[in-house]
Structures are given as structure tokens and as C-alpha cells.
Structure 1
Amino acid sequence: MKRISVWLICALLLLTSCAPNMNEEEVLQNDESEEEVSIVPSYQLSDENYKMILPYKVSNARGVITNQMGNRLDIDEMEEGLRRHSKEVYDPGKYFFQEGQYLSSELLYEWLDELNPVIKKEDTEGLEPEEEEEFYRNNPRYLSHILEQNFLQKKEDKTVDLVGMSIGIAMKSVYRFQTEVGGPYYYQDIPKDQMMEQANKIAQTIVERIREMEGLGEIPIMFAVYREEDQASPVPGNFVAKTNVAGGKASIGDWDTINEENILFPSEEGRKKYFDDHEIVTSFGNEVAEYFPNYVGIIGKGFYINEELQKLTIEIPIEFYGKGEIIGFTQFVYGLVQEMFADYFDLEIKVTSSSQVESLIYRKAGADSPTYHIFH
């Protein structure tokens, strides 16, 4: 009898695991050739996150961004930041997110070459080395990448259609160049106003071309300009401006300034701009140094909007020799968090060794206490 009961329970569990989740909803997604049945999950991580239609569709220009932008931090910040700014236009409670499906890899590379012409050897023929270097400095490549994100909405007949698009334009703050293959690298700073002048021209060309593409003539488009940091920077750049182009329109209007920045702590820039935050992070590092002899220094990054700290991320790289050390150190850091850091911003502290993240302490703004996790 017991064997039969166990068999029935196992069979029931198997059937339950295979059964569809009745909270999920099927929708029809319009494709170029046919309508595709997709699933909208009933749950989302939070009200601040977009639901994403399954099966997940990767970007039609997948991989281009990694070839165009040299700093991994910039890549992540641009993708996440564009989605963050899109929420002000496309409400996550009403729209679904999808990676860009209209600008293909081939098309993007074509546009990048046209909008960002490469200096050819014949352009500098007859110039002395000093003159050639000056020519490069006066003709920088401003544009790094064009990022597309799509926003879909469900209609009464359970179909979903594209109803909005965001386009991120990544622009260089530093132009790195060689005057000859194998030669030394030179660097030219690009002023922000000069960068925005070029970004405006690039955005105008892009919107005109998008309007000529099938099905995109009446789609609203949000444009946002991202200013990269240099390739070796320990913190990413940030978005500096955005504008909305209404459906059916093909001209760029005025840009709204975005006042956000990522600041390294400890650093001279952090000390000058945000002295109090700099001192707290420095004091935190000093407390860690007293506790642990293998400590070599912390790496902090503050994300600011309108000069108000929104999120502080700290990495503590330490070499451990046992799990007990990790547990004890994490407990110590947890206590410091409670004592030293205010609760009006998000906080994330990663304790890392040479091979992996050993523990994580995080706290949402306004939370009474942080949460921690020790990895095994």
C-alpha cells in the first residue's frame, strides 16, 4: 500500500511540474512572416522592472556593442541606463520590454561607418608626422555605438505590437587613435559641448532613416546620449541628454539635460565633489584595514542623480584561507554597515577573493537592516 501511495505522489508531482502555469498568458507576437505564439509570465521581479515575453528574443544586433565599446562597465551602464530612462516614457506596468529587433548587425556597422568615417591613409598623405597627428586630433571618431530597445503592448485581441522604441547613442569622451598600424596610441579629450553637437546631427540622421523603415513611421522614439569614460576607467560613464520624437515626426527637438554621474571612491574627484561620502567610504576602509591583515583596499562607486547619492557599490578584495574567515569577516562588515551608512540610498558590498565573490551584503534605500549571503 505504501509503495502504491509513493508511486501516486511521484506521478502527481511529475504531472504538476509538466503542467502549464495557468497564471501565464499566451499572446500572439507579430513577426515579419507569421504570427508567433509567445508567453507573458504572470510575475515580474518588481513594479520597477518590465515583463519580458517568452521565448526571449535576443537583439538583432547581438554582440555589436562589445566590439564597439572598450569598457565593460560602459556596456552594462548603457544597457541598464537606457532601460531606466525609458521607464519615464514607457510605463513598466503597461509595456513589455524586448531587445532591439529592427537594427541588424549589418545595418548598424554600415551606419557606424557612415556616421563615423574612418581616416584613411590617403587623407594624410604628404603630411609631416606632427601634422598627421594634428589631423587625427581635429577629426575624431565621436560615435561608438547605437543601441536599440523595443517596447510592446498587448491589445484586446491578445496580440502584442511594437508601440515604442528607445535609441541610445554612445559617444566618446576620449578619442584614442594611432597614426600608423603598430604605432603608439594618442589620446584626445572631447569636450562635452562638441560631443553633443555631433550627437544631435547623428540622432537626426538616425531618426530620418528609421522613419523610412517598414512599420516604424508612426512609432514614438526616445533618444538618449551616453558619454563614455575612457577604456581604463574603473567606473562607467553616464547619460547626459535625452529627447522624445513623437510618432510620425522625423526631426530632433530640444534635448533635456540628464544630471547623473558615477564617482570612484576613494578618489580626488570624489573628495572634491562629494566630500562627506568620500570620508565615510574612507573611514569604512580604515575600519576594515584594522580588522583584516590581508586587506589591500576597497573600490567604491557612487551613482548620483542631481547630485544626490542613489546607490553606493563597494568591492572588498581580500585573500581568504578558510570559510571561517569569510563568515567572520562578513559579520564584521555587516556590523559596520549598520553603524556607518545612512539608509537613504541603495547599498551593495561585495567581498571577493582572487577567484570569486565570497559574500554579498545589500540593502535597499529605506530598509531597516541589510541582507547578506555567503556563497558556498
Structure 2
Amino acid sequence: MKKYFVIPVLFVLLIAGCTPNYDQEEEIVQDTKEEESETAIVPSYNISDEEYKMPVEYKPAAARGVIVNQVFNRFDITELEEGLRRHSKDVFNPDDYLFQEGQYLTEDTVYSWLERNSEEHEEGLNPSINIKDEDNPDPQAFRDAPRYLSHILEQNYLQKTKGNQVGVKGVSIGLALKSVYQFETEPGRTYYEDIPKEEMLSKGKEYAQTILQRIRKMEELKDVPIMIALFREEEQSSLVPGNFVAKTFVEEGSSSIGEWESVNEDYILFPSDEADSDHQAEATVMKDFTNEVREFFPNFVGVIGKGFYVNDELQELKINIPIEFHGKSEVTAFSQFAYGLIMENFRNNYDIEINVKSPDKQEALIWREAGEEKPEVYIYQ
């Protein structure tokens, strides 16, 4: 019996449905502890119930740009920012808080805290290093004192105080910590040293306590609840990001960290040896999917999948399929084929997203949210 699939192809409506309605907005005044308050507008509607509303007049982070100079894997940058916001939802509910980029840790502050500790950089958190011969430095000196801390990310969470005023009622701090320490003793001579997870955790918790005490000295943040999360970076060449490994919540006014909560998250690349050994079921499904795509479209380059796991359970699978098409009908036919493969091969207890791309642009997007039976399809014009 032949199977027919009805593909809901979305064009303008998909975009229009996500456009904020500025006819119904709320004007707020942000308390900045200065002589003049700042006014901002908050849309009455949100693009998703799971996301934070943000003031229309977007304020860049006080340390804007530091992250791209300190974290060298672009996937790490994205996950550090988005993952910290995701974990913040556990303590700062999006129904009750607005999101704002961090406004208190400035560029100068962050850079000074990331320095190696020395007489010149007394606030530096990374370990001091003893180089006896500057012209011929000993690699062991670097191995004994790796730069553990790459970046300090701040996020602010706002609430209404009185009338239409809002103030910072929550802060999240993400500490990016290296899993591999890269250093040079001379031009062209690069070393790579793995940093054990437990060693990284120990240092990260030590830095977190120091940073908390420094933040509490800031008048605006002395009584604000603070969440701190530790992020373990991946190596620079990795095609998947690192992951958060621990987090803690500090009550308002407290300058001491109590218990840490372990975070069991991981990003897995398909295909990979790690996927084959640790996630055999999903690895097999991905191999079967790749083989079926190859049979349908022999000249495709390959399939790359990225799975996001929480407590060893797959939460999200994103698949990229680069193919060279010769006409829109080929795109439609392939989208129909991929739609059927999702229905037949992939369980619906996790989100799945397939991006079909030609060398010049994205051609189609096929996605299904966890719990839904049928995917949605968007074919680009």
C-alpha cells in the first residue's frame, strides 16, 4: 500500500506568526540607581512561552565582545550563553522575570579577573606562573599552572518593583573553564594539555566563591539572588559544544556558596566513536537514516547530527544534510522523502530538526517537537 504524506509548506505565515505586536506594549522605567531612570518598552506578547521577554530597547552587555576573544569554539560561545539562560529558568521563571544582558561586570573588570594573579594583576583569578628564563621558558611551568578560567558571563533578570519600575532581581554567572590548555613556549611550538574534570571542577568552585564575594561588594547586587554555573569547554576544533557540569544558587544577601548541584548534560556528534560506544541506539538510527538518504540521493556529501542529552536521555537531535540540488522540484521531493524517514525511523520523545542545505543557502527545514506525531516542513524560496 502506498503511503502519501501531506507536507504543510509554510512561507510568510511562519515569519508573521513570530513578529511581535507593538500595538500592545508596556512602558517600564528601569531603576538604575542613578539620578535619571531609564525608560524601556516591553512587548505584551512573547515568541514562546518558554523564553524570556526582553525590553525592546536592547542594552548590550557591559562586557560585550569579551567572550569572542576568550572562548575560541563558536559552539561553546552559543551554548554558554543559551545554556546559562536555560538553567536560569529553574530559579528565575520566565513568567515572572525579564531578561537583560549583564550590566555590572564591565569589559575591564572581566579582563582583570581573567588575568594570571601577579603583583601587576592582583585581582587575577588564573594561577600565577614562575618563568625563570623568559627567553627559553620551561613548558613544565605552564603545565603546572594552566589558565583554567576562560570567561565570566553575566546575565540579569528583571522584575517589577513598584508602578512601572523594574529592577534587577536575579543574576546568573557562567564560568567557562578549559578542558584542554593550549600554550606556546616559542613561536610555532604549541602544546596541548588535558585538564581533568575533577581538577577543573575544584578550581571552578574556588573561582565562583571569590567572584561571589566581589559581586556582593557592588551596591546594586549586594542583596540579589545569584545563580552560578560551571561550563566545561570543548577543544577548539570540536563540532559540538561543551556542557555545564555544576551549578549553585545563592540566596539574596549571602556571600557564601553552600551545596553544588551536579549537571549531567552532553552533546554528542553523529557519526563518532563516542556515539557508537555510548549511544548505540541513536547511532544505529542515524546510520540507517544516512544510508537511506544516500540511496535516494547518491551525490549528497554526508549527514551530520548533533544530539543533546540530559541525564543520558536524548532531548534534541539536529541533523544537517548538505546536498546540491538542480531545481525546486528536487528540494520538494527530498523534503517529502525526509519527512517520511522521520515518521518511520525516529521516536517522538525528543525534538528533531533537519536542515537541508545547498552550497548557496538553506533549502528546507523539517522539524518535530517532542510528543508530536507529524513533522512540520518549511521550504525556502
Q: Same fold (TM over 0.5)?
A: yes
Task: After superposing the two structures, state which structure 1 stretch, 86-95 or 40-49, moved more.
Answer: 40-49
| Residues 1-376 of structure 1 mapped to structure 2, 5 A cutoff | 21=22, 23-31=24-32, 32-113=34-115, 114-117=124-127, 119=129, 123-125=131-133, 132-180=138-186, 182-376=187-381
Task: After superposing the two structures, state which structure 1 stretch, 24-33 or 286-295, moved more.
Answer: 24-33
Of Structure 1 and Structure 2, the greater helix share is in 1
Task: After superposing the two structures, state which structure 1 stretch, 168-177 or 136-145, moved more.
Answer: 136-145
Higher relative contact order (CA 8 A, sep 6+): 2
C-alpha displacement at 1:213, in angstroms? 1.1
Cα distance in 1 between the residues matched to 2:327 and 2:244? 42
C-alpha contact (below 8 Å) 1:118/1:141 kept by paired residues: no
1:353 is matched by which residue type in structure 2?
A: S
Cα deviation code 1:344-373 (max 9, x no counterpart): 000011111223211111111011211111
Aligned-residue RMSD, C-alpha: 1.6
Larger radius of gyration between Structure 1 and Structure 2: 1
Task: After superposing the two structures, state which structure 1 stretch, 165-174 or 210-219, moved more.
Answer: 210-219
Cα distance in 2 between the residues matched to 1:105 and 1:343? 44
Cα deviation code 1:12-69 (max 9, x no counterpart): xxxxxxxx95521111111234112211111012221111112111111111111110
Cα distance in 2 between the residues matched to 1:284 and 1:163? 47
User: Which residue in the other structure is 1:12 paired with?
Assistant: none
Cα distance in 2 between the residues matched to 1:322 and 1:115? 56
C-alpha contact (below 8 Å) 1:124/1:135 kept by paired residues: no
C-alpha contact (below 8 Å) 1:39/1:55 kept by paired residues: yes
Cα distance in 1 between the residues matched to 2:321 and 2:224? 46
C-alpha contact (below 8 Å) 2:304/2:320 kept by paired residues: yes
C-alpha displacement at 1:318, in angstroms? 1.4
Aligned residues: 352
Cα distance in 1 between the residues matched to 2:66 and 2:299? 40
C-alpha displacement at 1:136, in angstroms? 1.4
Cα distance in 1 between the residues matched to 2:305 and 2:212? 38
1:79 is matched by which residue type in structure 2?
A: E
Cα distance in 2 between the residues matched to 1:203 and 1:271? 36
Long gaps (5+) in structure 2: 1-20, 116-123
User: Which residue in the other structure is 2:4 paired with?
Assistant: none
C-alpha contact (below 8 Å) 2:128/2:145 kept by paired residues: no
C-alpha displacement at 1:118, in angstroms? 7.0
1:30 is matched by which residue type in structure 2?
A: D
Cα distance in 2 between the residues matched to 1:42 and 1:36? 19
C-alpha contact (below 8 Å) 2:127/2:145 kept by paired residues: no
C-alpha displacement at 1:127, in angstroms? 9.5
Cα deviation code 1:234-291 (max 9, x no counterpart): 1000000000111111122221000010011111101111100110011100100111
C-alpha displacement at 1:233, in angstroms? 0.3
2:131 is matched by which residue type in structure 1?
A: D
C-alpha displacement at 1:188, in angstroms? 0.4
C-alpha contact (below 8 Å) 1:112/1:145 kept by paired residues: yes
Cα deviation code 1:171-217 (max 9, x no counterpart): 0001111112x222110000010001110111111111101112111
Cα distance in 2 between the residues matched to 1:62 and 1:247? 26
Long gaps (5+) in structure 1: 1-19
User: Which residue in the other structure is 1:17 paired with?
Assistant: none
| Partner SS for 1:206 | helix
C-alpha displacement at 1:155, in angstroms? 2.6
C-alpha contact (below 8 Å) 1:167/1:222 kept by paired residues: yes
C-alpha contact (below 8 Å) 2:102/2:156 kept by paired residues: yes
